[in-house]
């Protein structure tokens, strides 16, 4: 038994606002276009860009969702199947290949297609002293694991002749079990 697969997955930006229409039976149908880009280097080493435009249609509840939440420039993920239609009108034949959407995810939070930088939160470094438990286990500044800079929040712990660096968050004595 032979099997086949007709599946399309796209990530791109809407080329225009979705157009919502209803059939005579009252079923919603929306259509819109999605642009996808690809880049490559040609033989001379120049960067080349190409944009492909894809016709998308969706039906019923998904069509209404697309019409309500999508707008020109939105970044979306579309999953669906290819469908080719052909027709004849006044002696001329036409064909159109569309993607019938079965799933849609909005991938950005803004509708203008331009990502705005989020402000970096400002942090004020705070120096915290490790608690002193006993004279044999005094907090001593040690070298940090990755940076090689002394760390005031790390302390050494000696166990069975071994010395290890323990961060206060990872202190085995502070574990609840």
Predicted confidence (pLDDT) per residue in 52-71, tens digit? 999 999 999 999 999 999 99
User: Is 25 in the same domain as 81?
Assistant: yes
Where in the sequence is the domain holding 48, given as residue range(s)?
8-106
Q: Is the pLDDT of residue 92 over 50?
A: yes
Find tokens 């492909």 and name the residue.
Answer: 52
Nearest CA to 103 among 5, 10, 18, 4?
Answer: 10
Q: Average pLDDT for residues 30-52, to the nearest whole number?
A: 95
- Same domain for 12 and 66? yes
Nearest to 97 by CA among 57, 64, 63: 57
Does a structural domain hold residue 15?
Answer: yes
pLDDT category at 130 given cuts 50, 70, 90 is: low
Hey, is 172 helix, strand or coil?
Answer: helix
- The CATH number of residue 36's host domain is 2.40.50.140
Residue 6: pLDDT band (50, 70, 90) is very high
Question: Taking a C-beta distance cutoff of 8 angstroms, is the pair 75, 106 a contact?
Answer: yes
Across 118-125, average pLDDT: 56
Do 16 and 89 share a domain, yes or no?
yes
Domain identity same for 93 and 163: no
Instruction: Say if 50 falls within a structural domain.
Output: yes
- Give me the mean pLDDT over the 91-101 stretch: 95
**Are residues 68 and 25 both part of a single domain?**
yes
Residue 10, pLDDT score: 97
- Geometric angle at alpha carbon 85, from 84 and 87, rounded to 5°: 150
3-state secondary structure of 58: strand
Residue 1 lies in a domain: no
- Asked if residue 56 is part of any domain, the answer here is yes
pLDDT band at 131 (very low <50, low <70, confident <90, very high): low
Judged against a pLDDT cut of 90, whether residue 21 lies above it is answered with yes
- 19 and 66 share one domain: yes
Count: domains in the chain: 2
Residues 96 and 141 in one domain: no
Q: How far apart are CA 40 and CA 24, in angstroms?
A: 46
User: Looking at the domain assignment, is residue 143 inside a domain?
Assistant: yes
Q: Quick one: average pLDDT of 69-74? A: 95
| Residue 83 and residue 161 in one domain | no
pLDDT (0 to 100) of residue 154: 45
Domain boundary among 60, 88, 106: 106
- DSSP, res 69: H
pLDDT at 65: 96
Strand-pair partners of 95: 86
């Amino acid at each position: 038994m032979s099997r086949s697969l007709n599946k399309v997955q796209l990530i791109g930006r809407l080329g225009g606002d979705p157009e919502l229409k209803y059939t005579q039976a009252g079923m919603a149908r929306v259509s819109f276009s999605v642009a996808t880009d690809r880049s490559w280097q040609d033989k001379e080493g120049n960067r080349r860009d190409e944009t492909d435009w894809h016709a998308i249609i969706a039906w019923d509840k998904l069509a209404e969702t697309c019409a309500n939440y999508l707008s020109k420039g939105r970044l979306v993920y579309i999953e669906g199947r290819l469908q080719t239609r052909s027709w004849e009108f006044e002696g001329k034949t036409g064909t159109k290949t569309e993607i019938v959407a079965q799933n849609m995810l909005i991938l950005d939070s803004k509708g203008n297609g331009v990502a705005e930088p989020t402000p970096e939160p400002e942090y004020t470094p705070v120096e915290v002293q490790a608690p002193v438990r006993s004279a044999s286990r005094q907090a001593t500044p040690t070298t940090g694991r990755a940076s090689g800079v002394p760390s005031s929040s790390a302390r050494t712990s000696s166990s069975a002749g071994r010395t290890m660096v323990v961060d206060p968050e990872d202190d085995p004595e502070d574990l609840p079990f």
